[in-house]
Every structure is written in structure tokens, then in C-alpha cells.
């Protein structure tokens, strides 16, 4: 799973969140900054102008995405989730489409023609969803995203290295309450229209908000970011006691006094605290205090109360009207069937029906089940899928014992994959990838892992996030395939290569088709078996487990959203037909309920890449080169599947012409 590439190409979100703006908050001065090569080598001046204007709109509408890309101009801003903002965006997209009609595709070179097609198709998809009136913001609640997760996750990457950046953090934090209140108003609007979220999702979000509100203010990630690594201690009165404390913490009493020369903090449990600055704090104690005090007060007096209002609205107003677990999918939502078709087109880039996707999943499950049973008999000496499941799910030897083991395994597998890259890829990324643990505030309801791409300016590497929560429930046999999918040669390799392609417009380098991104990562899971990267047959069972998992998604996603399946029915099907740990199954089903259609992209994309590889093998015969094929797949970024097929067809035609 990637975090980031979601919707259409021009405005594909790059991060976990899109947050609200608030004009009443004073703005910190924005640094001067200009992107290079926004339009790449686009030759047509009208198309180049469209690329530049669409990129500018994307950053202005998604300022947190701009922060993650490394654009400093928007560090203090949040996007606007209001209906008025949605209308402004739709108007801008209509204007882009109008301008695109004046560009003759037959007068463009191949690269520009692809760019125009991708832009136009994505814009049309966005308008189709907007014009449907389904208004997702008015009913969708999701425990894997939303402000109760995204605000806290953002804090770790919010820049604070300069005085302006510290001003921008405070500005952005002060906009958060308005965003939360707008979320509440959006959900009330959905209630009036007869649409609401699934019950389990709302219950999960309420539990997350309870945990946030039970966290002492000084321990909130929103405050910890401003504390600069400092720690908190019980107060000691007077200079003599400060001297005693300074000897205990190895800090001068004057530093402790300076760091706490602001309004006495009263946290929600009624105790006063003193900040002990970190030994390596880059800020002088008094300056640390001037930064920390307004951040702390904003979190205490504005953000926490806003979280409380949001929680109460969910509990008192939304929860009683939710879609029950017996019918949690879009099928039970007014207009849901048509909206699900739009989700399928957005996520797969193809016009496929729920019925054909469901049938594809059932057939894949049967095929993969046979592979699992054969490999399980050989490697575990047990017969039948149920016996294989029992051994893998219940044996302590098949599970980790502590969080450090999970992280160490991920790091080792990533290193082994990096070493093998030159044997299968000519194009290789410059950006490195690092392993990071999923933050504690999101881990209980998060997936087992995800990837977040590197910043465009190179200041932050790609990150493979692993879930170390409840380590004894995390499976060893799936650790290798998981790392290959999320890091190298999966998401990190593909996305980093796309980001580094010179000549492409930035919209293409930093966005794209979900089916391409996830299809590629799934394709590489079996590629790694070709490369000899799996340690043994038990790890190959993990590979088959993941393939069955993605096949079951086709069945479960369509079952939930097109056929009226219950949550329990979806959990039962995935439990019976995969090797996944049962706690992961429940989290995954909840993910599919919250993000309709996204789960379909994996198998659809993998199928397309495998078919194109078979086609290339047939056409080229002994001249087929795996490395060359991979380079041709990756060299244009995350294009739609139709564009990918056309690109490979052109390559094969050139190869055929070269041999005549």
C-alpha cells in the first residue's frame, strides 16, 4: 500500500491528508521559491502553460502535499474542505478542459500527446465525481486517515528549522480547529441528504479521538514537535530547587529558568510541568520557550476542544444514523452504485464492471489456492489449506516476538533487495529508502505497512513504514514479500524513478495511476522469486499469501460495495481464503469499506503488466531482455494501463522494425 497516490493525475494527493484553510489566522511570511522544470520538456506552449497552471493549483489546494514535496511557501497553510472550495476546484478544472480543447493532439510528439491525454482523462474523471453529487466529504469517515490521524502524523515532518518555519507551524496549527469544525458541518450536511458513514468506522474514529483527548497535552505529537526533544518534569520551586534539578538532568539552572519563562502551563490533569530542554537543542532555552508556549496554548485551548467537539458530533449525531455492519458498503448508500463505478474507473483506469472483477477474483483465488496447497505440503508437511492456515496462524515460531525484530527484518530484506537491483533494472533511482515504524497513534488501526515517497528536493528519503504494534501478531512468513512490495523493487523503486525522470512535467513525475503503482508493486513480489531473493519455501508461502490476499480483495471489495455483503461476510471470506493473520483481515476489510475501489487496483495492474511481459516475450523471442522490459514499463512514470499498453506496443514495433 502506498500513502499518497490517490486520485487523478493532475491533483493526485501525495500525502496522508488535505487540510483546511482559515482566513482569520494571520499568515507567516512565505519564503520565495520557484519550481524548476514544472512543464518539463513539453514543446507545445499551450500544453506547457496548462502543466504549469495545474501544478500551481495543485500546490495551492493541497498545501500539506506541497510541504511533503519540499515547497516552503505553504508550510503554514491548510486546504479548504468546504463545499465552496469544491465548487472553485471544479470551475478551475472546467477551465483547464476548455483550454485543452484548443490543443491538437496530432500536432504533438509522443510524450506530449501522452501528457495531454493523461491530464484530460483525469480532469474528466474528477468532474464526473463532482457532478455526481455524491459529495464524499459529507459522509466518509475513516480510521486510517482524517484529522484524528493526519494532524498527528504531519507533526513529525513539519519543518521548524528557521524562525519563519516556526511561525508557519504555529499558523498551520491555529488553522486546525476550523478544519475540524468544517468536517462536522460536512457530516451534518450528509445527514440531511440521507448519507452517512459505516458504523464500525465511526466507532473506530471515536475511539481514536478518545485516545487523543486522554493524552496529556505535553505528550501530544502536536506539542512534542515544538518541544525540540525536551522532556517534562514535575515543578521544583525556587532557585535552590532549580539547582538540584539541574544537577539531576545535567542542565544549567539558568537554562531551565529561561526555558520556562512563560505563562505557567496547566495541563488537563491540573498539574504544572517544567520543560527540560534537550542537550542537543539547536535553540537557546529562551527562544525554545517563545516557540513552545503559543504552540502549547493553541493545542490546549483550541485544538483539543475542537477534537472534543468533533468527537461529540460523531457520538451524538452521526453514530445513531450510520450504515450498520450488516450493509456497510456503497450499495446501501443513496447513489452508491453509480459512485462505485466511478471509483472503479478512478482506481483501475479501466471501465470494468463489478461482476467481471468479482469473477476475476474468484478464479484467481482458486488458482493460487492450488499453489499454496502444493507448496504447503512440501514445506510444512501438512495437507489442505485449512491445516496450512492453522500452522501459520497459530505457531509462535511463525510470528515475531518484539518490535525490534520486525524492524530489523525489514532493514535486512531491503538491503538484500537493493543489492539485487542492477541484475533486473537499467534505470535505477538515486533516492534512498529507509525503514520507519508506524507512529503509535495510528498503528492499532493501520495496515501492516505502507510507503511514503521521498521529497522532491531530496531532503527526505523514501520511507517504508512497518507496523510494530502488537508484535506477536505480526507474521514472519510474510515479512519478506511485504518489504519487497513496499520498498525495493516495489513502491520505492518505481516511485523514486518516476520522481527523477527529467523532461516529464512535474504532474507526471509526482502523481499517477493507482493501478500502475500498485500493480507494479504486486508484480515485483513474484519477480523477487525469479531473482532468488526469498530465503526459503515458508517465505514463498508468504508471497502466495499476499497474492491470494490481493485476489480476495477483488471478491470482497465488489462484494461489499456492489453486492451488499456484510462486514462479517467479508472477514469470513478473507479468513477462509488467505493466510493472513486474523487481526490483519479485520483491519483490511475496514480499509476497503472506507476506500471503495482502491483494493481492486493491485490485481488489475499486475494482470496488465504480466500480459504485456508475455506479449514482449512472444514478439522478441530470444531477444527478450527482462531488464529492458522493466525499463520500458517504468520510463514514463505511473501512466494509466491503456497508455502503458500503447507504450509497450510502440516499443515492440520499433524492435520489430530494427530487425528487418
Residues 367, 262 within the same domain: no
In a domain, 624, yes or no: no
Residues 102, 228 within the same domain: no
Residues 126, 267 within the same domain: no
Q: In whole angstroms, give the CA distance from residue 12 to residue 411.
A: 29
Residues 301, 403 within the same domain: no
Rounded average pLDDT over 272-282: 85
In a domain, 171, yes or no: no
DSSP 8-state assignment for residue 476: S
Which of these ranges, 91-95, 262-266, 274-278, has the smallest mean pLDDT?
Answer: 262-266
Considering 142, 176, 204, which residue would you say is the last residue of a domain?
142
Q: pLDDT band for position 241 (50/70/90)?
A: low
Instruction: Decide: 78 and 158 in contact? Cβ < 8 Å.
Output: no
Query: Torsion over CA of 115, 498, 639 and 70, rounded to 10 degrees?
Result: -70
Q: Concatenate the DSSP letters of all residues of 10-50 into one string.
A: TT---SS------TTSPPPPPPP---S-TTTT--SHHHHHH
Considering 142, 172, 201, which residue would you say is the last residue of a domain?
142
In a domain, 641, yes or no: no
Q: pLDDT band for position 266 (50/70/90)?
A: very low
Residues 126, 229 within the same domain: no
In a domain, 194, yes or no: no
In a domain, 342, yes or no: yes
In a domain, 151, yes or no: no
DSSP E strand stretches across 209-324: 231-233, 274-276
Q: Would you state the pLDDT for residue 606?
A: 98
Q: Which three cell numbers stand for residue 78?
A: 491548510
Alpha carbons within 13 A on the beta-carbon side of 612 = 28
Q: In whole angstroms, give the CA distance from residue 172 to residue 295.
A: 10
Q: pLDDT band for position 264 (50/70/90)?
A: low
* pLDDT tens readout for residues 249-263: 777 888 888 887 764
In a domain, 639, yes or no: no
Conformation bin of residue 512: beta by default, left when phi > 0, alpha when psi is -120 to 50: left
Would the pLDDT of 590 be above 70? yes
Residues 289, 362 within the same domain: no
Q: pLDDT band for position 8 (50/70/90)?
A: very low
Would the pLDDT of 338 be above 50? yes
Residues 343, 304 within the same domain: no
Would the pLDDT of 17 be above 50? no
Which has the higher per-residue pLDDT, 352 or 134?
Answer: 352
Q: pLDDT band for position 44 (50/70/90)?
A: very high
Residues 8, 69 within the same domain: yes
Q: pLDDT band for position 240 (50/70/90)?
A: low
Q: In whole angstroms, give the CA distance from residue 492 to residue 495.
A: 5
Number of domains in the chain: 3
Residues 301, 343 within the same domain: no
Rounded average pLDDT over 174-191: 97
> Model's pTM, two decimal places?
0.91
Residues 84, 229 within the same domain: no
* pLDDT tens readout for residues 493-513: 999 999 999 999 999 999 999
* pLDDT tens readout for residues 112-150: 999 999 999 999 999 999 999 899 999 999 998 899 999
* pLDDT tens readout for residues 70-109: 999 999 999 999 999 999 999 999 999 999 999 999 999 9
Residues 122, 241 within the same domain: no
Would the pLDDT of 6 be above 60? no
> Minimal CA–CA distance to 149: which of 300, 269, 307?
307
Considering 121, 142, 163, which residue would you say is the last residue of a domain?
142
Domain membership of residue 274 as a residue range: 218-308
Mean pLDDT of the chain: 91
Residue with cell 524562525: 163
In a domain, 244, yes or no: yes
**How many Cβ atoms sit within 10 Å of the Cβ of residue 27?**
11
Residues 476, 418 within the same domain: yes
Q: Would you state the pLDDT for residue 257?
A: 80
Rounded average pLDDT over 629-642: 98
Amino acid at each position: 500500500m502506498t500513502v499518497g497516490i490517490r486520485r487523478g493525475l493532475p491533483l493526485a494527493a501525495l500525502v496522508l491528508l488535505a487540510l483546511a484553510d482559515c482566513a482569520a489566522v494571520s499568515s507567516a511570511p512565505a519564503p520565495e521559491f520557484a519550481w524548476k522544470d514544472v512543464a518539463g520538456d513539453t514543446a507545445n506552449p499551450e500544453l506547457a502553460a496548462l502543466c504549469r497552471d495545474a501544478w500551481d493549483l495543485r500546490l495551492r489546494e493541497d498545501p500539506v502535499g506541497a510541504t511533503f514535496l519540499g515547497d516552503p511557501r505553504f508550510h503554514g497553510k491548510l486546504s479548504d474542505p468546504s463545499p465552496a472550495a469544491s465548487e472553485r476546484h471544479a470551475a478551475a478544472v472546467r477551465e483547464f478542459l476548455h483550454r485543452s480543447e484548443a490543443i491538437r493532439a496530432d500536432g504533438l510528439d509522443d510524450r506530449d500527446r501522452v501528457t495531454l491525454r493523461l491530464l484530460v482523462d483525469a480532469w474528466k474523471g474528477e468532474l464526473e465525481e463532482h457532478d455526481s453529487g455524491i459529495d464524499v466529504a459529507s459522509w466518509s469517515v475513516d480510521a486510517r486517515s482524517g484529522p484524528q490521524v493526519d494532524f498527528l502524523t504531519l507533526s513529525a515532518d513539519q519543518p521548524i528549522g528557521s524562525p519563519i518555519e516556526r511561525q508557519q507551524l504555529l499558523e498551520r496549527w491555529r488553522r486546525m480547529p476550523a478544519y475540524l469544525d468544517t468536517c462536522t458541518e460536512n457530516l451534518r450536511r450528509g445527514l440531511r441528504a440521507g448519507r452517512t458513514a459505516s458504523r464500525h468506522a465511526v466507532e473506530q474514529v471515536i475511539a481514536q479521538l478518545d485516545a487523543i483527548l486522554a493524552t496529556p497535552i505535553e505528550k501530544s505529537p502536536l506539542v512534542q514537535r515544538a518541544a525540540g526533544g525536551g522532556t517534562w518534569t514535575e515543578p521544583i520551586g525556587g532557585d535552590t530547587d532549580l539547582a538540584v534539578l539541574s544537577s539531576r538532568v545535567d542542565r544549567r539552572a539558568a537554562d531551565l529558568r529561561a526555558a520556562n519563562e512563560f505563562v505557567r502551563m496547566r495541563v488537563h490533569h491540573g498539574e504544572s510541568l517544567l520543560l527540560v530542554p534537550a542537550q542537543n537543542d539547536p535553540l537557546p532555552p529562551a527562544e525554545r520557550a517563545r516557540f513552545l508556549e503559543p504552540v502549547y496554548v493553541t493545542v490546549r485551548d483550541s485544538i483539543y476542544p475542537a477534537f472534543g467537539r468533533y468527537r461529540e458530533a460523531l457520538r451524538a449525531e452521526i453514530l445513531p444514523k450510520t450504515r450498520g455492519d450488516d450493509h456497510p458498503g456503497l450499495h446501501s448508500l443513496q447513489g452508491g452504485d453509480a459512485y462505485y463505478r466511478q471509483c472503479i474507473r478512478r482506481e483501475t483506469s479501466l471501465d470494468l464492471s463489478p461482476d467481471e472483477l468479482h469473477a476475476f477474483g474468484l478464479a484467481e483465488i482458486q488458482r493460487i489456492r492450488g499453489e499454496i496447497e502444493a507448496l504447503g505440503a512440501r514445506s510444512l508437511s501438512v495437507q489442505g489449506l485449512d491445516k496450512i492456515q492453522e500452522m501459520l496462524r497459530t505457531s509462535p515460531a511463525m510470528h515475531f516476538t518484539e518490535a525490534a525484530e520486525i524492524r530489523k527484518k525489514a532493514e535486512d530484506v531491503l538491503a538484500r533487495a537493493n543489492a539485487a537491483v542492477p541484475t533486473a533494472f537499467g534505470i535505477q533511482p538515486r533516492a534512498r529508502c529507509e525503514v520507519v515504524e508506524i507512529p503509535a497513534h495510528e498503528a492499532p488501526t493501520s495496515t501492516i505497512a505502507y510507503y511514503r515517497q521521498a521529497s522532491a528536493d531530496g531532503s527526505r528519503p523514501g520511507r517504508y513504514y512497518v507496523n510494530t504494534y502488537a508484535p506477536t501478531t505480526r507474521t514472519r512468513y510474510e515479512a519478506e514479500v511485504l518489504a519487497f512490495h513496499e520498498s525495493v523493487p516495489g513502491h520505492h523503486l518505481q516511485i523514486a524513478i518516476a520522481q527523477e525522470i527529467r523532461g516529464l512535467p512535474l504532474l507526471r513525475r509526482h502523481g499517477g495511476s493507482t493501478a500502475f503503482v500498485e500493480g507494479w508493486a504486486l508484480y515485483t513480489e513474484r519477480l523477487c522469486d525469479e531473482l532468488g531473493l526469498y530465503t526459503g519455501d515458508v517465505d514463498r508461502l508468504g508471497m502466495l499469501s499476499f497474492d491470494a490476499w490481493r485476489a480476495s480483495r477483488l471478491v470482497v471489495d465488489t462484494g461489499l460495495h456492489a453486492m451488499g455483503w456484510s462486514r462479517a461476510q467479508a472477514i469470513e471470506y478473507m479468513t477462509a481464503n488467505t493466510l493472513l493473520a486474523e487481526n490483519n483481515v479485520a483491519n483490511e476489510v475496514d480499509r476497503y469499506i472506507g476506500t471503495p475501489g482502491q483494493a481492486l487496483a493491485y490485481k488489475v495492474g499486475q494482470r496488465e503488466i504480466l500480459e504485456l511481459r508475455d506479449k514482449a516475450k512472444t514478439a522478441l523471442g530470444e531477444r527478450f531482455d527482462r531488464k529492458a522490459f522493466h525499463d520500458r514499463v517504468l520510463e514514463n512514470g505511473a501512466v494509466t494501463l491503456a497508455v502503458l499498453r500503447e507504450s509497450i506496443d510502440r516499443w515492440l514495433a520499433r524492435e520489430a522494425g530494427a530487425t528487418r
